[in-house]
Amino acid sequence: MRTKIRAVAAALALIALAGGAVTFTMFGESSFTNFETGLFSAALVLAASSFGYWQMVQGSAQSRPHHDLQDETDRIDDRFGLWEEDLPEEVTEDAASLFKDEKRKLKKRGVDFKTFLKTARPALSLYRFGAYAVLVYAVFTLISSDIFEPVSYLFGAGAAPLTAAAVLWFMNRR
């Protein structure tokens, strides 16, 4: 895991140096500033998103067992499955009443705010909010300084996720 993080960081540093040199020599100082600002803000968003998902995976991995197998003592004590929970047999009804019943259950079970927060935890991470705040602040700073160039900014912002994806793809191919 750490080698992948180091490889992505090294590739991003290389892209920052090479891309910065190319944009500075070919297009000037304002394009260089926009490219580097886009690259670093997108890399920050990428790192914050990855860290949020990593925390979610670590939390879910620690909270539940890694397998669905029975405990060995349970298997020995109940080798014929006598103590397993029996599901009640449902009386067969006509299809229309079953459909209405399931539809009523789905409506009653709607997603409340607490469930939404539990399932959207990585998307609502404070790290991501902070990274996006830095991104928005950087864009507004470039705009207020009258040096914002959307094309070079978008090339820089697009370089970060593409570089990370390419590095991880090449590392997983080995």
Domains in the chain: boundaries: 2-62+110-173
Q: How far apart are CA 118 and CA 124, in angstroms?
A: 10
Span 129-140, pLDDT tens digits: 888 999 999 999
Sign of CA dihedral 26, 31, 36, 42: negative
Q: How far apart are CA 64 and CA 148, in angstroms?
A: 49
Which carries the bigger pLDDT value, residue 117 or residue 97? Answer: 97
Q: How far apart are CA 53 and CA 60, in angstroms?
A: 11
pLDDT at 118: 62
Residue 5 has pLDDT above 80, yes or no: no
Q: 91 phi and psi, to 5 degrees?
A: -80, 130
pLDDT at 145: 92
Asked if 70 and 84 count as a contact pair (C-beta separation under 8 A), the reply is: no
Residue 71 has pLDDT above 90, yes or no: no
Span 16-55, pLDDT tens digits: 778 878 887 788 888 889 989 998 999 898 888 888 777 7
Residue 68 has pLDDT above 70, yes or no: no
